[in-house]
Each structure stands twice: as C-alpha cells, then as structure tokens.
Amino acid sequence: MPVQRTRPRPLSLSFRFCLMLFVLTLWTDTSYAQPELSPSEQYPGPWIEVPQDIRDLLALRKVSACSAAVGRQSSRNPSEYLLYCTQDERHWTSWRVQPATHKLQGPGRLFEGIPAPNGY
C-alpha cells in the first residue's frame, strides 16, 4: 500500500499577519528599551535648592513633611526631580516630583547610593 503524502496546509493570511505583528512588536520594544540605571545614575546630583514650582506643588498637595528639602534632577527626564525632605534634619523621606504634570510620589525611603545631604 503506497504512503500518501499530504501537503502541509498553508498558514492563513490572518495568522501570518498576527505572527508578523508580534515579531515586529518584540523587535521595536527591545530596540527602544533603555538600560536600567541605578538611582545614583538616574539622579546624579548635586543637591540643588528646590525650585518654586515644586514648592508650590508640595503646598497644593499639603505635604508638611518637606519643611526642609533638597532635590536632584533626573538624568533621564529633566522635568523629574528626586526630593529628600525632613522636618528635623534627622529623619528624611524621598519623593519623586514632576511639577509640569503635577505628579507627586512619596513619601518613601532614601535611595541606596544616595545619602541624605550633610550639613543641611
């Protein structure tokens, strides 16, 4: 009895399109991916006086933990700042602020590799 060979069924057009879209999505995501930066690379310093627009945002959000604050600008996003805030110069908290978009994250712990400022 002869063995019948069957021809493989061609992939449907929609399946090929989806497969191509999936591969392209993976390729473009990896080509635009930025390497992960350490906190000290993302906020390299030096410490700066907190700009007035950030102070206004803190007042608007009624953040009382920042009676004394210093900031560092992000190397990746110039409109983002890392703030270290204190009320007593012993206990510090961290905040991430984007004044243009009114985004405020915190309070949080101090970042490893970024100590609180000396002699503030």
- The model carries a pTM of 0.69
Non-local CB neighbours of 112 within 8 Å, separated by 6+ positions: 39
- Residue 1's pLDDT is 60
- Residue 119's pLDDT is 66
- Residue 34's pLDDT is 63
Non-local CB neighbours of 41 within 8 Å, separated by 6+ positions: 75
Extents of the domains making up the chain: 40-108
Instruction: Outline where DSSP puts E strands in the chain.
Output: 48-49, 68-73, 81-86, 92-98, 103-108
- Residue 118's pLDDT is 82
How far apart CA 17 and CA 30 sit, in angstroms, is 20
- Alpha carbon 72 to its chain's center: 14
In tens digits, the chain (120 residues) has pLDDT values of 666 666 656 667 776 765 666 655 665 554 455 678 999 999 998 999 999 999 999 999 999 888 899 999 999 999 999 999 999 888 999 999 999 999 999 999 999 999 999 866
